[in-house]
Amino acid sequence: MDGRGDRPDNHPKKQAETPKIEDLKKICQELNKLEAKYALLGGFAMHYFGLTRTTYDIDFLVSVEKENIRKIKEALKQKWVFEKKTA
Protein backbone atom coordinates (compact mmCIF):
# COMPACT_ATOMS: atom_id res chain seq x y z
CA MET A 1 0.00 0.00 0.00
CA ASP A 2 1.11 3.54 -0.63
CA GLY A 3 -0.26 5.46 2.36
CA ARG A 4 -3.17 6.95 0.38
CA GLY A 5 -6.08 4.97 1.70
CA ASP A 6 -6.43 1.45 0.32
CA ARG A 7 -4.76 1.94 -3.08
CA PRO A 8 -2.45 -0.91 -4.03
CA ASP A 9 1.09 -0.08 -5.10
CA ASN A 10 0.24 -0.69 -8.77
CA HIS A 11 -2.84 1.59 -8.75
CA PRO A 12 -2.80 4.04 -11.72
CA LYS A 13 -3.00 7.07 -9.42
CA LYS A 14 0.21 6.00 -7.72
CA GLN A 15 1.96 6.60 -11.05
CA ALA A 16 0.37 10.00 -11.68
CA GLU A 17 1.96 13.28 -10.70
CA THR A 18 0.43 15.19 -7.84
CA PRO A 19 -1.44 18.17 -9.33
CA LYS A 20 -0.06 21.65 -8.83
CA ILE A 21 -1.80 24.99 -8.65
CA GLU A 22 -0.64 25.62 -12.23
CA ASP A 23 -2.60 22.54 -13.32
CA LEU A 24 -5.71 23.86 -11.61
CA LYS A 25 -5.32 27.25 -13.29
CA LYS A 26 -4.98 25.65 -16.74
CA ILE A 27 -8.05 23.48 -16.23
CA CYS A 28 -10.16 26.38 -14.93
CA GLN A 29 -9.07 28.59 -17.84
CA GLU A 30 -10.27 25.96 -20.30
CA LEU A 31 -13.53 25.38 -18.43
CA ASN A 32 -14.19 29.11 -18.19
CA LYS A 33 -13.37 29.66 -21.86
CA LEU A 34 -16.09 27.15 -22.78
CA GLU A 35 -18.46 28.54 -20.12
CA ALA A 36 -18.79 25.17 -18.41
CA LYS A 37 -20.80 24.93 -15.19
CA TYR A 38 -18.59 23.60 -12.38
CA ALA A 39 -17.50 24.09 -8.78
CA LEU A 40 -14.13 23.34 -7.22
CA LEU A 41 -14.20 21.01 -4.20
CA GLY A 42 -11.72 19.22 -1.96
CA GLY A 43 -8.16 20.11 -1.05
CA PHE A 44 -7.66 22.84 -3.66
CA ALA A 45 -10.90 24.55 -2.60
CA MET A 46 -9.72 24.44 1.01
CA HIS A 47 -6.39 25.96 -0.06
CA TYR A 48 -8.28 28.88 -1.63
CA PHE A 49 -9.81 29.63 1.78
CA GLY A 50 -6.43 29.45 3.54
CA LEU A 51 -6.61 25.91 4.88
CA THR A 52 -3.91 23.37 4.10
CA ARG A 53 -4.74 19.80 3.18
CA THR A 54 -2.64 17.35 1.21
CA THR A 55 -4.40 16.30 -1.97
CA TYR A 56 -3.59 13.93 -4.80
CA ASP A 57 -6.24 15.12 -7.24
CA ILE A 58 -8.41 18.03 -8.27
CA ASP A 59 -12.10 17.60 -7.43
CA PHE A 60 -14.90 19.25 -9.37
CA LEU A 61 -18.66 19.11 -9.10
CA VAL A 62 -20.15 19.57 -12.57
CA SER A 63 -23.61 20.05 -13.98
CA VAL A 64 -24.72 16.84 -15.70
CA GLU A 65 -26.56 18.60 -18.50
CA LYS A 66 -25.58 17.00 -21.80
CA GLU A 67 -24.15 20.22 -23.26
CA ASN A 68 -22.15 20.92 -20.11
CA ILE A 69 -20.64 17.43 -20.12
CA ARG A 70 -19.61 18.03 -23.75
CA LYS A 71 -17.88 21.26 -22.66
CA ILE A 72 -16.12 19.52 -19.77
CA LYS A 73 -14.82 16.76 -22.04
CA GLU A 74 -13.69 19.30 -24.63
CA ALA A 75 -11.80 21.31 -22.01
CA LEU A 76 -10.05 18.26 -20.56
CA LYS A 77 -9.50 16.04 -23.58
CA GLN A 78 -6.05 14.57 -24.17
CA LYS A 79 -4.60 16.09 -20.99
CA TRP A 80 -6.40 14.75 -17.95
CA VAL A 81 -7.76 11.55 -16.40
CA PHE A 82 -11.53 11.15 -16.02
CA GLU A 83 -13.05 9.31 -13.07
CA LYS A 84 -16.78 8.85 -12.84
CA LYS A 85 -17.99 8.86 -9.26
CA THR A 86 -21.58 8.25 -8.30
CA ALA A 87 -23.25 8.67 -4.96
Reported as a single tens digit per residue, the pLDDT across 5-31 is: 455 555 555 556 788 888 899 999 999
Residue 31 is assigned to a structural domain of this protein: yes
The neighbouring-strand residues paired with 61 are 39
Residue 9 is assigned to a structural domain of this protein: no
Domain that holds residue 69: 18-76
Please give the pLDDT value at position 10.
58
What are the C-alpha distances in Å from 12 to residues 8, 9, 33, 58? Answer: 9, 9, 30, 15
- Cα 19 from Cα 23, distance rounded (Å): 6
Residue 1 is assigned to a structural domain of this protein: no
Q: Where is mean pLDDT largest: 2-6, 12-16, 77-81?
A: 77-81
Residue 52 is assigned to a structural domain of this protein: yes
Please give the pLDDT value at position 4.
46
Residue 6 is assigned to a structural domain of this protein: no
Domain count, the chain: 1
Residue 51 is assigned to a structural domain of this protein: yes
**Residue that wins the pLDDT comparison between 21 and 62:** 62
Residue 5 is assigned to a structural domain of this protein: no
Please give the pLDDT value at position 61.
94
Residue 44 is assigned to a structural domain of this protein: yes
What are the C-alpha distances in Å from 1 to residues 13, 21, 58, 65? Answer: 12, 27, 22, 37
